[in-house]
Structure formats: C-alpha cells, structure tokens
Structure 1
C-alpha cells in the first residue's frame, strides 16, 4: 500500500515556497499596519460574483480579491489588507473592531466564509482554507494551524451570538 499511497496522495505543499510567502505576508502587513507584529496572520480571499443575462447567454463572472488577514485577540480586532497572489504589493488596511461592528458570523453555505458587517451598508466575507494550489488566483501558503486559531478566535470572541 505504501507505493500506491504515494501515487494517489495528490498535490503536496511546497513548504519552502509556503514559508517564503508567509514571510512576505508578514513584511507587507507590518509595513501598513501599526504594531503589525501584534497580529497573527492568515491568507484569505473574497469573491465578487456578477451575473449577466444577454438573451440566450446567461452566466456569472467571479472576481477574486486576495487578503492578508490579521487578528489580535487582546484588542479583538481583525485587519484585512488587500494584496495580489504573488505578494508584490498591498493596499490600505481596513480595521474591524469587535466593539464597532454590527454583526459577524460564519457562513457554511454556499462557501465556508467568515462574514463581518461593519454597518448596514456593506460587509466583508473572508474565505480561508488550509492551502490552495492555484498560484494564479491565490497566495500559495499552507496555514492549517493558523486557520484553526483564527476560526477559534472568530467564533469565540468576534462572532455575534
């Protein structure tokens, strides 16, 4: 079974590449977030799905937005920093403080996402996984332990009951 288990394992994480990207995420985050070192980090992404209907042609188009997501348990704050899959740059951070949000919850369907409503006008849905193998769309980083810690934080301290 040892030989066949190696064949049918599927893609494996390149830990050297993953660790290098985790360091890049940290550097970018620390550049734009004051006291960035006080935050733990995961990679997340958002999806913007637009529908179209041109007579006989129906469909949808999805835009992916990559995020470096930091959280600080003591200040109960989540920070989302937009970035690109190759981590060549990033945008301005958006802060979500537990005391200032309208509601937050984990949505399991149709995708597993952490949803934050800072007010009645907008929301942020953070999709996050242990590892995604598509480097053209997503940041290549393995984050099983960090994702578990973020999930615990979000559900126990951030999500509204």
Structure 2
C-alpha cells in the first residue's frame, strides 16, 4: 500500500529550496520597504490577460507578474513589490493603506484573488496559493500557514464591508 500511496501523492515540496526563496524574498522586501521587518510576507502573482482576434482565430495571452506581498497588522497596510521567479531583483513598492483605499474584497470567481481598488482608476488582483510548482512562472515557495494568516487578515481587518 505504501508504494501506491507514494505513486498517487503527487509532487512534493523541496523545503530547503522553499526556505531559501523565502529568505531571498525577505532580503529583497527589506531592501526596498522602510521597516520591512515589521511586515509578514507571502508570494503572490497577478495576471494580465490580453485578448486577440485574427479573423477565425480567437484567443488570449496571459502575462504573469510575480509579487512579494507584505502586510502589517498594526498599521493595516499591504505593500506589494514586483519581482521575478528567480528572485534576482525587484521593483519599487506600492503601499495600500486601509484608510486610503476605495475598496478591497476577496473575489472567489473566476479565480481566487484578493482585489484592492486604491481609487476609481485602477486596481490590483493578488492571486496567492500555498505552493505552485512551475518555477519558470512563479516563485518556488511553500506558504500554507502564511497564506492562511494573510487571508484572515485581509478578510477580517483589511477588506471593506
């Protein structure tokens, strides 16, 4: 029975690789966010879907943007830092303070995403999962507890009613 259990279990997380990437995320975040150590972190991503129509061919193309997402429960602030799957660098942080946003909610359909509208002109949808295996598109990090904690924070303290 043990053989079949292993056979159907699916891929397993390389915890050493995950821990190393979590450390890299922390270093990058702390470099660009003032008092970065006061934030807890998860990996998230955002999708930009562009539609195209070439005569009889209809389709879409998706661009993935990797994000380091930090949250501070005391300040009710979420900070989003763009990065790349290998964590070789990052962009400038964007701050979302609870008192300064228009609206925030968790969208369950068509994808499970945390959506923040800082104003009427734009929004960010943060997708996050406990682990994604595709290292070519996503940061390889296991974050089951962190994601549960972020979800609780977002829904109970950050989301607008």
Q: TM-score, normalised by structure 1?
A: 0.99
Displacement of 1:74 in angstroms is: 0.2
Q: Which residue of 2 aligns with 1:90?
A: 90
Q: Which residue of 1 aligns with 2:145?
A: 145
Measured on the aligned residues, the alpha-carbon RMSD in Å equals 0.4
Q: Which residue of 2 aligns with 1:49?
A: 49
Displacement of 1:7 in angstroms is: 1.1
Q: Which residue of 2 aligns with 1:156?
A: 156
How many Å separate the matches in 1 of 2:29 and 2:7? 38
SS in 1 for 2:9: coil
Counterparts of 1:3-152 in structure 2, within 5 Å, are: 3-152=3-152
How many Å separate the matches in 1 of 2:68 and 2:83? 7
Q: TM-score, normalised by structure 2?
A: 0.99
SS in 2 for 1:52: strand
Displacement of 1:57 in angstroms is: 1.1
How many Å separate the matches in 2 of 1:98 and 1:6? 45
SS in 2 for 1:126: strand
Gap runs ≥5 in structure 1: none
How many Å separate the matches in 2 of 1:128 and 1:158? 16
How many Å separate the matches in 2 of 1:7 and 1:127? 29
Gap runs ≥5 in structure 2: none
Moved over 2 A (4+): none
Deviation string for 1:6-53 (max 9, x for gaps)? 111100000000000000000000000000000000000000000011
How many Å separate the matches in 1 of 2:59 and 2:7? 37
